[in-house]
Amino acid sequence: TESNDLGLSILKKLGIQTKYLGVGVDRLDYAKGIPERFKGIEHFFDAHPEYKGELTFLQIASPHREHFKDYQDQYKDLITKEANKINQKFGTKEWKPIVLETTQYSPKELLALYKIANFCLITSLHDSMNLVAKEYIAARNDSQGALILSQFAGASRHLKEALIINPHNTEEIGTAIFTALSMPTSEQYRRMNIMRTIIKDYN
């Protein structure tokens, strides 16, 4: 399909060719908990070295018009340092565990990435609803994939079939990533179909 081709062409452009893909989509904002997320990914690779070279996490962190530029630049530096540290620790010439994109992606491009990501990771430290959670579910018309969702995101009240985590607990994030990647297809279907029904009612 067109969407699938677009997703694969984005991955190719970014040099991502691993078996598994995780995705995070956020504004450059401290409330989104991106450093906490990266520390959780580090914990995952420490606990599950067998996934080295098998999983890439693509973090899209886009600038936001309403936020001060200095504030966003500081946060961008912070998350870039964290990503580099983890990439140096685990990465190889061919593979980086974290690919960080601090640019705007179009809704069409995001949809294409949601459709092929094995999991979507949301680690908001305090948040209103968090629409990314709903967008990821809405994109999954194959009823596959797993949503890892912060207990502090408003969406977690409705989406009980997500893997709910405390974003301050890096071990919990790491464990949830492992659960998402090892979840049987039938369990992915079960959870995703329930969540898809819920967002049809609360769109």
What is the reported pLDDT for 71? 85
In the predicted structure, residue 70 carries a pLDDT above the cut 90: no
The mean pLDDT value of the chain amounts to 94
Amino acid at 16: I
- The per-residue pLDDT for 188 is 98
Over residues 78-111, the pLDDT tens digits come to 999 999 999 999 999 999 999 999 999 999 999 9
> Whole-model pTM?
0.96
- The residue-averaged pLDDT of 14-41 equals 96
DSSP letter string over 98-164?
EEEE-S---HHHHHHHHHH-SEEEE--SS-S--HHHHHHHHH-TT--SEEEEETTSGGGGT-TTSEE
Residue 171 confidence (pLDDT) above 60 = yes
Q: Report whether pLDDT(67) > 70.
A: no
Structure tokens at 61: 């962190």
The average pLDDT across 6-17 equals 96
Q: Is the pLDDT of residue 13 over 80?
A: yes
pLDDT over 60 at 203, yes or no: no
